[in-house]
């Protein structure tokens, strides 16, 4: 079933009818050509799915009836917060899309020592583009809540914001000791929240790792090869999900 986000102000309950906003009416009537009685899912970013059926469809507009409001079927039980060292936009946007598909709940663009200079000036147009990427990935993969995108912040702030009780990990390309799998398997209980810190293109500096350790973050290896930041981000998220998502 097709899924569409609608403004969360439109609170929808079973039995109600709704005239779709123009842009969505065009999509449903003229692009997808949904017939009267066909079902679609509306999402108000509450985490619920609102199953509706097309009741009226004409040039004047499209009206749907709310059949059922249910909890989203694909939300992940593990909350992953990805603090990603600032990268060039194209690479960062790739992480937004793939991370959303893999279940990342929050993206925190993090300013590290070796982040490319100038990346911290991200104007409103780029933030809007990032939000659109997140929403489209959310619709595509069947999630019902768009991951949050935090404002760019320095590593120190991201470290201070680690939720209490979260498992905080920093994959570090120079870590020779413990690897991600061992850390995850050694957890006494399944963590609800995992915070991952991935460095920028230029990597993480030893003092950034030391600072993170002072905040209770564990540095881990993702293996013997040096991965690009976007590869490391997706590999870390995928492995955490593999290990922790039932």
Binding site for ligand SAH (CB under 6 A): 171-173, 175, 198-199, 201-204, 221-223, 225-227, 229, 232
**Which residue number, 21 or 202, has a Cβ lying nearer to ligand SAH?**
202
Q: In the bound complex, what is the minimum distance in angstroms from residue 244's beta carbon to ligand SAH?
A: 18
**Which residue number, 156 or 227, has a Cβ lying nearer to ligand SAH?**
227
Beta-carbon contacts of 152 under 8 Å, excluding residues fewer than 6 positions away, are 86, 109, 110, 111, 119, 120, 122
**CB closest to ligand SAH, residue no:** 199
Q: Where are the strands (E) in 9-103, listed by range?
A: 17-19, 39-43, 48-58, 61-71, 79-85
Q: In the bound complex, what is the minimum distance in angstroms from residue 219's beta carbon to ligand SAH?
A: 8
Give the length of the chain.
246
**Which residue number, 68 or 120, has a Cβ lying nearer to ligand SAH?**
120
Q: In the bound complex, what is the minimum distance in angstroms from residue 200's beta carbon to ligand SAH?
A: 6
Cα separation values, 166 from 48, 78, 189, 200, 244, Å: 25, 11, 11, 23, 13
3-state secondary structure of 190: coil
Q: CA angle, 145 as apex, 77 and 161 as ends, to 5°?
A: 65
Q: In the bound complex, what is the minimum distance in angstroms from residue 88's beta carbon to ligand SAH?
A: 12
């Amino acid at each position: 079933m097709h899924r569409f986000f609608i403004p969360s102000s439109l609170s929808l309950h079973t039995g109600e009818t709704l005239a779709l906003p123009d842009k969505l009416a065009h999509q449903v009537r003229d692009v997808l050509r949904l017939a009267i009685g066909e079902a679609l899912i509306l999402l108000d970013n509450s985490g619920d799915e609102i199953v509706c059926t097309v009741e009226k469809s004409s040039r004047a507009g499209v009206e749907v009836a709310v059949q059922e409001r249910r909890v989203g079927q694909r939300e992940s039980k593990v909350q992953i917060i990805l603090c990603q060292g600032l990268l060039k936009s194209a690479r960062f946007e790739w992480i937004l899309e793939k991370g959303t598909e893999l279940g990342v709940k929050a993206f925190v663009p993090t300013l590290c020592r070796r982040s490319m200079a100038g990346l911290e000036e991200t104007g409103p147009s780029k933030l809007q583009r990032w939000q659109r990427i997140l929403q489209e990935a959310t619709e595509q993969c069947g999630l019902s809540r768009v991951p949050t995108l935090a404002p760019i912040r320095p590593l120190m702030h991201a470290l201070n914001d680690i939720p209490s009780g979260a498992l905080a990990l920093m994959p570090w390309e120079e870590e020779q000791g413990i690897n991600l799998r061992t850390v995850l398997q050694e957890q006494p209980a399944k963590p609800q929240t995992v915070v991952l810190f991935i460095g920028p293109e230029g990597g993480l500096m030893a003092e950034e790792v030391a600072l993170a350790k002072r905040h209770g973050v564990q540095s881990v290896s993702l293996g013997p090869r040096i991965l690009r930041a976007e590869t490391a981000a997706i590999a870390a998220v995928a492995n955490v999900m593999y290990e922790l998502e039932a």
